[in-house]
């Protein structure tokens, strides 16, 4: 994972909107500029793109047209879009059912006519624009021609949104796309950060919230489906029994991929922990020579990530790449819900939950807790609370199987952080400390002939024994040791 800034937050909660200050500021900025401006807002289904724009329109109250495309024919969509334009022009007049502009070009020219006035700026939001492209493939070219000759000269902010990441890149952002270089900004709406779960579930413990974050991530709709005050078991029952949770995985992949069968097999294999290309091919029942092209597509859609050890300075050239499911919900679905789907659909949710419970804690520790520990390192560095600024943050592994959960490195400063994560009911003991400092650290592939400063970090759900701290003081030989229990992690991620 490369060093990055945490996403600003917004979400819906009991009809309340908690704003993403950064994204709203971008919308305000480009609405405030003169001339025609084109913004692209994209992100996976359910992440809250529509809620963001609806909140911006309803609170800023610009002169606006807001239209959402659906999965319909081009004719039906053009008629619906035409009605929205007419509703803006004459809000009190009835619109005949059969009314439509003859072509998309004429409808967009009507937008240009409305935006001619210099006195008041017009905001036009075309939500789920990728559905319109799917129905009318020529639409990006039509829009590009009108943008270049007419629309960019108008007093207009045009916002296009989409959930289909591949189509967004292909038709709007890629070099050969019709709309390439027309957008003033592309806003990639990310899932909510872990800290927001405290507002969704104010009575839940940190352990409870980390577990939920591992299951559904920061997707507002999934979080909003769960009762605000419930036990962890009740929340897990709700997740397993939810029709949305059962159906969304298939919908997410079908939206992005025409024939998802092989992709599903690959994602499921990775979710089970098979990360190398050879392992993935074997588990998915595919030829290894074909798997790479599928992985490239899944990576381009942000469904999977290719990671290398954090010590690797040129990740693209490394042969140590491993693949991980990037989306928390998809990762949980294909590891736990998909194998139990037959039981769940037959109403045997209790048995399904018991099967899930056998491996859930270990799985949460491996994924959610370790990822939050890395996020903590990034956040501490951003806040100037770490003793160095990492160039890369991730993990470390060797072909022999030895691995380190959290690694941050800056070769220029010769400073490295090595961290161990334990998501168990037992406190970190002297054995764990010695294992990291004396056994694992010396095997990390860096040039130890140079004087490196090492920071050892221990992340634990249950805390640390006094003996472990004493052993670390002795074994670290003057190097810094950080002790981050779940309470501290939770508190400082929320600051």
The domains found in the chain, sorted by start residue, are: 21-188 (3.40.50.300), 194-365 (1.10.10.10), 380-493 (3.40.1350)
Task: Please count the other Cβ atoms lying within 10 Å of the Cβ belonging to residue 127.
Answer: 21
Residue 5 has pLDDT above 70, yes or no: no
pTM, two decimal places: 0.89
249 vs 267: CA distance, rounded Å: 11
Q: Which residue has the tokens 């704003």?
A: 19
Per-residue pLDDT reduced to its tens digit, 11-34: 333 334 555 788 999 999 999 999
Residue 409 has pLDDT above 60, yes or no: yes
Element (H, E) at 67: strand 63-68
130 vs 146: CA distance, rounded Å: 18
| Amino acid 19: pLDDT | 54
Residue 400 has pLDDT above 90, yes or no: no
364 vs 33: CA distance, rounded Å: 46
| Amino acid 360: pLDDT | 96
Locate 226 and state its tokens: 């769960």
Using DSSP bridges, classify how beta strands 304-307 and 322-325 pair: parallel, antiparallel or unpaired: antiparallel
Residue 8 has pLDDT above 70, yes or no: no
Is residue 436 within 8 Å of 474, Cβ to Cβ? no
The whole-number average pLDDT for the span 300-306 is 91
Q: Which of 170, 174, 143 is nearest to 159 (CA)?
A: 143
Q: Which of 373, 365, 363 is nearest to 407 (CA)?
A: 373
Per-residue pLDDT reduced to its tens digit, 358-385: 999 999 999 999 999 999 999 999 999 9
Half-sphere exposure of 139 (CA within 13 A, CB side): 24
| Amino acid 17: pLDDT | 58
End-to-end CA distance of the chain: 22
| Per-residue confidence band for 486, with pLDDT thresholds at 50, 70 and 90 | very high
Using only the alpha carbons of the chain, give its radius of gyration: 25
Task: Please count the other Cβ atoms lying within 10 Å of the Cβ belonging to residue 153.
Answer: 14
Per-residue pLDDT reduced to its tens digit, 321-362: 999 999 999 999 999 999 999 999 999 988 999 999 999 999
- Which segment, 156-170, 183-197, 338-352, 412-426, is predicted with the most confidence on average? 412-426
Regarding predicted confidence, which is higher, 199 or 430?
A: 430
| Amino acid 18: pLDDT | 53
Classify each residue of 254-282 as buried b or exposed e, where b means 16 or more C-beta atoms within 10 Å of its C-beta.
Answer: ebbbeebebbbbbbbbbbeebbebebbbe
Phi, psi of 125 (to 5 degrees): -110, 120
Mean pLDDT of the chain: 91
| Amino acid 238: pLDDT | 93
DSSP letters for 382-442 = HTT-SSS--SEEEEEE-TTS-EEEEEEEETTTTEEEEEEEE-SSSPB-HHHHHIIIIIIGG
The whole-number average pLDDT for the span 233-241 is 94
| Amino acid 402: pLDDT | 85
165 vs 301: CA distance, rounded Å: 6
Is residue 377 within 8 Å of 386, Cβ to Cβ? yes
Per-residue pLDDT reduced to its tens digit, 436-463: 999 999 999 888 888 999 999 999 999 9
| Amino acid 3: pLDDT | 39
């Amino acid at each position: 994972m490369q060093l990055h800034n945490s996403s600003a937050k917004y979400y819906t909660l009991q009809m309340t909107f908690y704003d993403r200050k950064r994204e709203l500021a971008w919308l305000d900025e480009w609405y405030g500029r003169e001339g025609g401006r084109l913004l692209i807002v994209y992100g996976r289904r359910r992440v809250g793109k529509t809620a963001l724009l609806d909140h911006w329109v309803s609170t800023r109250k610009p002169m606006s047209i807001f239209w959402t495309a659906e999965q319909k024919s081009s004719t039906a969509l053009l008629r619906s879009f035409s009605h929205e334009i007419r509703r803006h022009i004459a809000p009190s007049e009835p619109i005949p059912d059969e009314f439509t502009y003859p072509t998309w070009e004429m409808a967009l020219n009507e937008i240009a006519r409305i935006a001619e006035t210099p006195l008041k700026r017009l905001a036009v939001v075309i939500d789920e624009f990728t559905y319109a492209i799917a129905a009318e493939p020529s639409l990006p070219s039509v829009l590009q021609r009108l943008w270049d000759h007419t629309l960019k000269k108008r007093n207009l902010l045009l916002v296009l949104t989409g959930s289909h990441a591949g189509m967004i890149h292909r038709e709007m952002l890629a070099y050969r796309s019709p709309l390439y270089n027309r957008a003033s900004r592309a806003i990639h709406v990310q899932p909510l950060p872990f800290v927001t779960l405290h507002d969704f579930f104010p009575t839940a413990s940190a352990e409870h919230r980390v577990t939920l974050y591992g299951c559904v991530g920061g997707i507002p709709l999934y979080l909003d489906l769960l009762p605000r005050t419930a036990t962890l078991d009740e929340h897990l029952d709700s997740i397993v029994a939810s029709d949305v949770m059962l159906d969304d995985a298939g919908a997410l992949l079908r939206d992005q991929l025409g024939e998802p069968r092989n992709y599903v097999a690959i994602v499921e294999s990775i979710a089970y922990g098979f990360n190398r290309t050879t392992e993935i091919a074997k588990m998915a029942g595919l030829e290894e020579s074909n798997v790479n092209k599928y992985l490239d597509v899944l990576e381009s859609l942000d469904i999977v990530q290719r990671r290398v050890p954090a010590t690797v300075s040129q990740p693209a050239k490394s042969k140590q790449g491993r693949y991980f499911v990037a989306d928390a919900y998809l990762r949980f679905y294909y590891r736990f819900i998909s194998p139990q789907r037959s039981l769940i659909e037959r109403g045997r949710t209790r048995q399904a939950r018991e099967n899930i419970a056998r491996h859930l804690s270990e799985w949460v520790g491996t994924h959610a807790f370790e990822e939050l520990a890395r996020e903590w390192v990034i956040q501490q560095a951003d806040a100037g609370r770490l003793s160095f600024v990492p160039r890369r943050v991730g993990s470390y592994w060797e072909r022999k199987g030895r691995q380190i959960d959290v690694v941050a490195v800056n070769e220029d400063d010769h400073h490295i952080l090595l961290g161990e994560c334990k998501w168990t009911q037992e406190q970190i003991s002297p054995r764990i400390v010695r294992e990291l400092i004396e056994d694992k650290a010396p095997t990390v592939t860096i040039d130890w002939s140079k004087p490196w400063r090492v920071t050892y970090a221990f992340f634990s759900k249950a805390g640390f024994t006094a003996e472990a701290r004493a052993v670390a003081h002795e074994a670290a030989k003057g190097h810094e040791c950080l002790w981050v229990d779940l309470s501290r992690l939770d508190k400082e991620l929320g600051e």
